[in-house]
């Protein structure tokens, strides 16, 4: 096995699985794991952590996240550590729905385990949990911005809200952006942010919608 051969494959494909590398290098998975550790490779926080890349390949955005062909990576590590960092560094804390939009994954599967994490402070204003930094100075700044957002958040008018709900029930997997575009075809102008505010306000952002009404 030549390490350069494995590195070359990584630079060509950007992301690989352990099985792909083992087959490419014709060696055991355990040997590949040692090699990945030597390269300081990072694994995806989705898809059961089965995809790997190199820190020099990943092009992290301002939130420290990078997506490539369905594999999601974070400069902070695994999903739990990533959520903690995003919530702690955010301007106004994070709700489950907001974190889901950022991370591209469902958050309810792991948020319960963070309910008493020492790095986070969890509160439930208006019936929706918000996760803040436990640092008192940071928390006060985040809480101020959260209160400001909630007092000024734009919401759809009643007929717009009904139209959005109808289409969300018909197409539960559509993003807020796609819903907004669908509304435009119906001559209803509702921005993605307004749809997001509506779902968050009514705790609908992370719920499964029924397939019929």
What is the per-residue pLDDT across 115-161, written as a single tens digit (0 to 9) for each? 899 999 999 876 789 999 999 999 999 999 988 877 677 888 899 99
Mean pLDDT of 90-100: 93
User: What pLDDT is recorded for position 118?
Assistant: 97
54: CB partners within 8 A, 6+ apart:
7, 10, 11, 39, 40, 41, 42
User: What pLDDT is recorded for position 151?
Assistant: 67
Q: Which has the closest alpha carbon to 27: 39, 35, 38?
A: 35
Query: What would you report as the CA-atom Rg of the chain, rounded to the nearest whole angstrom?
Result: 21
**Contact (Cβ atoms closer than 8 angstroms) between residue 46 and residue 104:** yes
Selected residue with higher pLDDT from 201 and 176: 176
Q: Which has the closest alpha carbon to 186: 206, 166, 169?
A: 166
Q: Are strands 42-43 and 16-17 parallel, antiparallel or unpaired?
A: unpaired
Structurally, at CATH architecture level, domain 79-152 sits in Orthogonal Bundle (1.10)
Indicate the pLDDT class of residue 208, thresholds 50, 70 and 90: low
- Main-chain dihedrals φ then ψ at residue 133, nearest 5 degrees: -70, 145
Mean pLDDT of 197-209: 71
CA distance 148 to 142: 10
Selected residue with higher pLDDT from 147 and 70: 70
Q: Does domain 3-74 have CATH number 1.10.1060?
A: no
């Amino acid at each position: 096995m030549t390490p350069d051969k494995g590195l070359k494959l990584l630079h060509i494909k950007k992301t690989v699985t352990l099985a792909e590398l083992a087959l490419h290098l014709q060696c055991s998975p355990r040997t590949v794991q040692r090699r990945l550790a030597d390269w300081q490779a990072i694994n995806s926080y989705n898809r059961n952590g089965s995809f790997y890349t190199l820190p020099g390949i990943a092009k992290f955005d301002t939130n420290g996240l990078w997506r490539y062909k369905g594999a999601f990576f974070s400069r902070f590590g695994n999903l739990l550590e990533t959520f903690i960092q995003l919530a702690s560094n955010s301007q106004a804390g994070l709700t489950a729905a907001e974190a889901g939009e950022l991370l591209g994954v469902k958050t309810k599967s792991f948020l319960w385990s963070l309910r008493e994490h020492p790095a986070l402070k969890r509160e439930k204003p208006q019936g929706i949990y918000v996760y803040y930094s436990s640092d008192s100075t940071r928390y006060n700044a985040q809480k101020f911005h959260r209160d400001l957002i909630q007092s000024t958040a734009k919401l759809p008018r009643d007929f717009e809200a009904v139209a959005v709900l109808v289409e969300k029930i018909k197409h539960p997997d559509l993003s807020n952006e796609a819903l907004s575009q669908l509304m435009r075809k119906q001559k209803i102008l509702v921005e993605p942010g307004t749809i997001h505010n509506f779902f968050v306000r009514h705790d609908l952002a992370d719920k499964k919608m029924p397939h019929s009404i």
